């Protein structure tokens, strides 16, 4: 099979690329990435001889069409997206351009070439859930995004469904819980906490430390997407979730415990706008129909991830100056640039 992996130099995309190359050595993988601040060719160093890299913008119709045609692509696996919630509050247009227009540009190119299309999305499209709610979002839950980022991802999901219905394009979608693991840009909660703790710097916790998220190791996400690509039904959406929740302070405690650091490193910082309280996905469909189940427990995954960052300072230390939101800019919308992105 010949795959085009958009955003393949980013966090989940690069983990997926390395996973796919290892599990499917006979396939041709083309990584298409604009190499914005979170895109990093170092993420692909271990497989650079096994893949083809194309630098390009998913909003560039001519470049996208050329990439599909030049490499005779059969399947697009679409990870490329702006995903920085704090930045979305400051530059919403950037998010709608990339996440909506970029996805539609890819869909149009795929339609004209008859290429399968898999879209990688997020639990955040469903919006806020009460901390006391005993239920979970399933694939039929209504979309209620509350931030520019989640609204742009919801719109991209709907564009994929529209192309399937209107043009008969073969599509699948996965909506995933919060991912963590190696090669994550040091802005998201787990990677931010680990890198700051390694340098004995304060761990910034929003005032709502009781807000909960469902956590999933990126390797389990890669396995889930593989299951959908191999056995999923065209036109279907599948939720990818561990069912394991932890609040922000619990994550901080796991990180500090894994690194042997004191609880005194925790610091409370002002809240960010439109900060959802909780997300939880019902992944019964993926588990029962495709036989997937997560394999990495949260405490184990956090400890292994902490060890990876401790052993790979040469990878993450040069990235610290590339964070896209300065303290001064983030102050415009009510919080510090060093605050948690979750």
Predicted pLDDT of residue 121: 98
pLDDT band at 341 (very low <50, low <70, confident <90, very high): very low
Do 181-213+244-278+296-333 and 2-179+218-240 have the same topology in CATH?
no
pLDDT at residue 303 is higher than 70:
yes
Q: What is the pLDDT of residues 186-204, one digit of tens each?
A: 888 899 999 999 999 999 8
Predicted pLDDT of residue 185: 93
> Is the pTM for the entire model greater than 0.85?
yes
CA-CA distance, 215 to 153, in Å (whole number)?
19
CA-CA distance, 127 to 275, in Å (whole number)?
10
Ranges of each domain in the chain: 2-179+218-240, 181-213+244-278+296-333
CA-CA distance, 32 to 183, in Å (whole number)?
18
- For 328, the token pair is 């001064």
The rounded percent of the chain whose pLDDT value lies above 90 is 80
CA-CA distance, 42 to 80, in Å (whole number)?
17
**Residue written as tokens 């898999």?**
118
pLDDT at residue 134 is higher than 90:
no
Predicted pLDDT of residue 323: 61
Predicted pLDDT of residue 274: 52
Q: What is the pLDDT of residues 99-122, one digit of tens each?
A: 999 999 999 999 999 999 999 999
pLDDT band at 17 (very low <50, low <70, confident <90, very high): very high
Sign for the CA dihedral angle at 40, 44, 50, 51 comes to negative
Radius of gyration (Cα) for the chain, nearest Å? 19
Superfamily of the domain at 2-179+218-240 = NAD(P)-binding Rossmann-like Domain (3.40.50.720)
Mean pLDDT of the chain: 91
* Mean of pLDDT values over 216-242: 98
Predicted pLDDT of residue 60: 98
Predicted pLDDT of residue 335: 45
CATH of 181-213+244-278+296-333, one of 3.90.25.10, 3.40.50.1460, 3.40.50.300, 1.10.3720.10: 3.90.25.10
Q: What is the pLDDT of residues 135-182, one digit of tens each?
A: 899 999 999 999 999 999 999 999 999 999 999 999 999 999 999 999
pLDDT at residue 339 is higher than 60:
no
Predicted pLDDT of residue 89: 85
Encode the chain in three state secondary structure: CEEEEECCCCHHHHHHHHHHHHHCCCCEEEEEECCCCCCCHHHHHHHCCCEEEEECCCCCHHHHHHHHHHCCCCEEEECCCCCCHHHHHHCHHHHHHHHHHHHHHHHHHHHHHCCEEEEEEEHHHHCCCCCCCCCCECCCCCCCCCCHHHHHHHHHHHHHHHHHHHHCCCEEEEEECEEECCCCCCCEHHHHHHHHHHCCCCEEEECCCCCEEEEEEHHHHHHHHHHHHHHCCCCCEEEECCCCEEEHHHHHHHHHHHHCCCHHHEEEECCCCCCCCECCECCHHHHHHHCCCCCCCHHHHHHHHHHHHHHCHHHHHHHHHHCCCCHHHHHHHCCCCCCCEC
């Amino acid at each position: 099979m010949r795959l085009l992996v958009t955003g393949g130099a980013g966090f989940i995309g690069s983990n997926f690329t390395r996973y796919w190359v290892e599990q499917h050595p006979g396939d041709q993988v083309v990584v298409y990435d604009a190499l914005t601040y979170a895109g990093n060719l170092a993420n692909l160093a271990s497989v650079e001889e096994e893949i083809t890299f194309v630098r390009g913008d998913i909003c560039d119709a001519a470049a996208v069409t050329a990439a599909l045609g030049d490499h005779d692509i059969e399947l697009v696996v679409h990870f490329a997206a702006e995903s920085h919630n704090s930045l979305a509050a400051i530059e919403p247009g950037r998010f709608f351009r990339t996440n909506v227009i970029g996805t539609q540009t890819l869909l149009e190119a795929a339609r004209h070439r008859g290429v399968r299309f898999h879209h990688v999305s997020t639990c955040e499209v469903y919006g806020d859930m009460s901390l006391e709610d005993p239920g979970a979002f399933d694939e039929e839950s209504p979309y209620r995004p509350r931030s520019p980022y989640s609204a742009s991802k919801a719109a991209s999901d709907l564009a994929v469904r529209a192309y399937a219905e209107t043009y008969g394009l073969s599509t699948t979608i996965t909506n995933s819980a919060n991912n963590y693991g190696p090669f994550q840009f040091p802005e998201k909660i787990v990677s931010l906490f680990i890198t700051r703790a390694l340098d004995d710097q304060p761990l910034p916790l929003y005032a709502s430390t009781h807000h909960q998220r469902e956590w999933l190791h990126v390797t389990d996400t890669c396995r889930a997407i593989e299951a959908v690509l191999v056995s999923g039904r065209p036109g279907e959406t599948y939720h990818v979730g561990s069912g394991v929740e932890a609040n922000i302070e619990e994550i901080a405690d796991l990180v500090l415990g894994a690194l042997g650091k004191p609880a005194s490193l925790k610091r409370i910082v002002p809240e960010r706008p439109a900060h959802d309280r909780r997300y939880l996905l019902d992944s019964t469909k993926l588990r029962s129909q495709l036989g997937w189940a997560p394999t990495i427990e949260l405490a184990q995954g956090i400890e292994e991830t902490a060890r990876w960052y401790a052993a790979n300072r040469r990878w993450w230390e040069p990235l610290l100056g590339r964070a896209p939101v300065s303290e001064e800019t983030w102050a415009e919308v009510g919080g510090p640039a060093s605050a948690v992105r979750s």
